[in-house]
Amino acid sequence: MKLELTPEQREARAAFRAFSQSEVAPYAEQWDREEALSPEIVRKLAARGWLGSIVPVEHGGPGMDMITYGLLTEELGRGCSSTRSLLTVHDMVAQGLVRWGSRGQREHWLPKLVAGEVLGAFALSEPTAGSDAKGVQTTAEKDGDGYVINGRKKWITFAQIADLFLVFLQCEGKPTAFLIERTTPGLRIEPIKRLLGTRASMLGEMFFENCKVPVENMVGRPGFGVSHVVAAALEQGRYSVACGSVGIAQACLDACLAYAKEREQFGKPIFDHQLVRALLSEMIVQVRAARLMCLRAGWLRQSNDPGAFMETMAAKYLASTVAAKAAADAVQIHGANGCIDGFAVSRYFRDAKVMEIIEGSSQIQQMTIARFDFQEL
């Protein structure tokens, strides 16, 4: 197999990179410090059609192919992992609706998600349920012509500003998905602050106290929540996180190459010291390997290949571990300067650690990957 970007994909990557370098990276430290993205960057992403970009043309979206989408999330992750996180959760909601939403849900919500008029967020985790999706305790009880929601969600990315939540809960004793709007009476959202990494991703905790939603807000049917809706959303999320992790690793490499050539010790740039070059060489090789695995996962996803699920999981596992290792080595190369604000590698280090936890921790990936046989390359 020869995996090579098309001219259109190369052009798109150049545009993504230019945008990230001019509109994202210069402000990433400020957003990290303030623990919030600027509303302006959200508007700019929407204006370029990069929110909901995976929504097919037949549903009112641009229908961006999966490889191009991977390039977009890599370049945004290279500039600011929190900005990439916005696309991730927004597109997880869009993907869930594309795959399992009713005709009415798709017609009403997808155009708004694509236009950026509505921001989506994915609400699965709870204080006692993270990787165990079937262990959620939030409930939906039938009440007349609708359902009453009670429970609690935690660690919800961009809960502080999202307008529409794809929420997973128990209904009739079965895992089920519902669309719940921010303005629903009985829904209270509290911000979560002082995170280790991706500090500008505006996490929140959600409290549902007798929130009544119409039956039309159910996505799929009772029992479809984990096996269908969650699975579709999480696969999209893993792919975005995988590519974004490559972006973090590439940013670490960029920073280290520049720093190693200007920082002098023992009368010469540290780039000329063998041990520093060894760290850089390992970083270069691992970044390329992770990128190729992400490209292959994107190609399989675009081809609707049944092997795409496991390839995406493997790509997320590799890319997140590569990002964490690259960030740790980047801090080491920078020495004391890598441990303070003002040098981006300290932020990369914190953000990379988060990549090993979200959308399925590295340990969950290890438990799952070994159980499946991969197709031959």
**Single-letter residue type at 14:** A
Burial of 325 (0-12, 13-18, 19+ CB in 10 A): middle
DSSP string, 94-113: HHHHHHH--HHHHHHHHHHH
Report how far residue 217's alpha carbon sits from residue 181's, in angstroms, rounded to the nearest whole number.
10
Q: Is residue 123 classed as helix, strand or coil in its secondary structure?
A: strand
Residue type, 15: A
Burial of 326 (0-12, 13-18, 19+ CB in 10 A): buried
Q: Within 13 Å, how many C-alpha atoms sit on residue 93's CB side?
A: 35
Dihedrals phi, psi of 272, to nearest 5 degrees: -85, 0
**How many CB atoms neighbour CB 194 within 10 A?**
6
Contact 108/118 with Cβ under 8 angstroms?
A: no
Q: Give the helix ranges, DSSP H, for the chain.
A: 7-19, 25-34, 39-47, 66-79, 81-100, 103-115, 231-262, 274-302, 308-334, 344-355, 362-369
Q: CB count, 10 Å around CB of 195? A: 18
Alpha-carbon distance of 53 to 35, in angstroms, equals 26
Contacts of 306 by beta carbon, 8 Å cutoff, 6+ apart: none
**Which token pair is 164?**
């529409």
Assess whether 359 carries a catalytic annotation: yes
Please identify which of the residues 35, 75, 126, 359 carries the catalytic annotation: 359
Active site residues: 359
